[in-house]
A and B are shown apart, each in its own frame.
Chain A
Amino acid sequence: MARAATTTDAFNAVAEPRRRQILDVLTGGELAVNDVVDRLGLSQPQVSKHLRVLRQVGAVDVREDGRQRFYRLNGEALKPIHDWIARYEETWSERFDRLDSVLQELKKEEGDGSDD
């Protein structure tokens, strides 16, 4: 199956569910690899592999301190992706807000048990 390499396409890189999870735990701040491993219950090689991909597309930055490597989110690299999806999300959010009002009215009608 032809796919763009995940290492050059940030959109693909962050589409992978495990990598999204890693980005989610990093939203709380910088973490050592082991902390990410603990929080997600994945193996260390798996986490390291995903972190490497995220680093290659610039989604995370790494800092070395002694033998430990600390990873943190690089918001600037992720912002375009966030913005890209956010506008689409907005349309659906507004659509579903409208649906919420319709549902509340339906609930009231059915709750009253009186049609018309």
Chain B
Amino acid sequence: MAVTTSRSAKVTLPADDQILITREFDAPRELVYKAFTTPELVRRWWHAKRGEMTVADIDLRVGGTYRFVMDSGGFEVGFHGEYLEIVPGEKIVSSEVYEGLPEGVSEEDGSTVNTATFTEEDGRTTLTLLIQAANKTSRDAIIESGMEDGLQDALDLLEETAQSIR
């Protein structure tokens, strides 16, 4: 029987305006793809234990849209977008807009183009998720969105460090 080891997703920043997430799964490619594109299955993992999924709509075709909403203790977190390119079982390119964009941020600036690629080797699948933001400010805001306290302190410290060695 296959053993599932819980591994960390690896996050890197290949360019100023990009985020790259990589993770290997102990399952063949078609299953990972299925879990990624089937509403009933997405409902079971996308919330990352941070709430209950109230909406998981997927119209998987080029030009079709999707919408995911999670209720996190009375606070709704929603994302929606459009499928731009689909290679069944291998690749999905979609736009993504966070529905809670701060005032003053245009949808154009706040949306990203996400490319999910599925590759299989020896029955294991590597998923890479490349998030292309409009610019560095948006990219940084996406990463910060996953954070609460401590961020500002950390950035202040970084700024100080950078300035002190100028």
Interface residues of A (CB under 8 A from B): 3-4, 8-12, 14-15, 17, 20, 55-58, 76-77, 79-81, 83-85, 87-104, 106-107, 110
Taking the nearest CB of chain B, how far is it from the CB of A8, in angstroms? Answer: 6
Which residues of chain A have C-beta atoms less than 8 A from B23's C-beta? 92-93, 96
Which residues of chain A have C-beta atoms less than 8 A from B105's C-beta? none
Proximity string of chain B (1-37) to chain A, C-beta cutoff 8 Å, 1 when within and 0 when not: 0101011111111111001010101110001101110
Residue of B nearest to A86 (CB): B11
Which residues of chain B have C-beta atoms less than 8 A from A85's C-beta? 11, 13, 143
Provide the bound-state CA to CA distance between A84 and B140, in Å.
10
B49:A94 contact, CB within 8 angstroms: yes
A104:B146 contact, CB within 8 angstroms: no
B48:A98 contact, CB within 8 angstroms: yes
Taking the nearest CB of chain B, how far is it from the CB of A100, in angstroms? Answer: 5
Taking the nearest CB of chain B, how far is it from the CB of A19, in angstroms? Answer: 12
Query: Given A89-B8, A98-B49, are A80 and B158 also a contact pair (CB < 8 Å)?
Result: yes
B162:A58 contact, CB within 8 angstroms: yes
B165:A58 contact, CB within 8 angstroms: yes
Residue of B nearest to A106 (CB): B31
- Option from A12, A79, A102, A107 in Cβ contact (under 8 Å) with B45: A102
Give the total number of A-B pairs whose CB atoms are below 8 A apart: 135
Taking the nearest CB of chain A, how far is it from the CB of B83, in angstroms? Answer: 20
Taking the nearest CB of chain A, how far is it from the CB of B45, in angstroms? Answer: 4
Which residues of chain A have C-beta atoms less than 8 A from B166's C-beta? 8, 56
B11:A88 contact, CB within 8 angstroms: yes
Interchain Cβ contacts under 8 Å between A and B, 30 examples: A10-B158, A10-B162, A15-B13, A20-B12, A55-B165, A56-B165, A57-B165, A58-B161, A58-B165, A77-B158, A79-B154, A84-B144, A85-B13, A87-B147, A88-B142, A88-B143, A89-B8, A92-B9, A93-B6, A93-B8, A95-B48, A96-B7, A97-B6, A99-B35, A99-B36, A100-B26, A103-B32, A104-B26, A106-B31, A107-B31
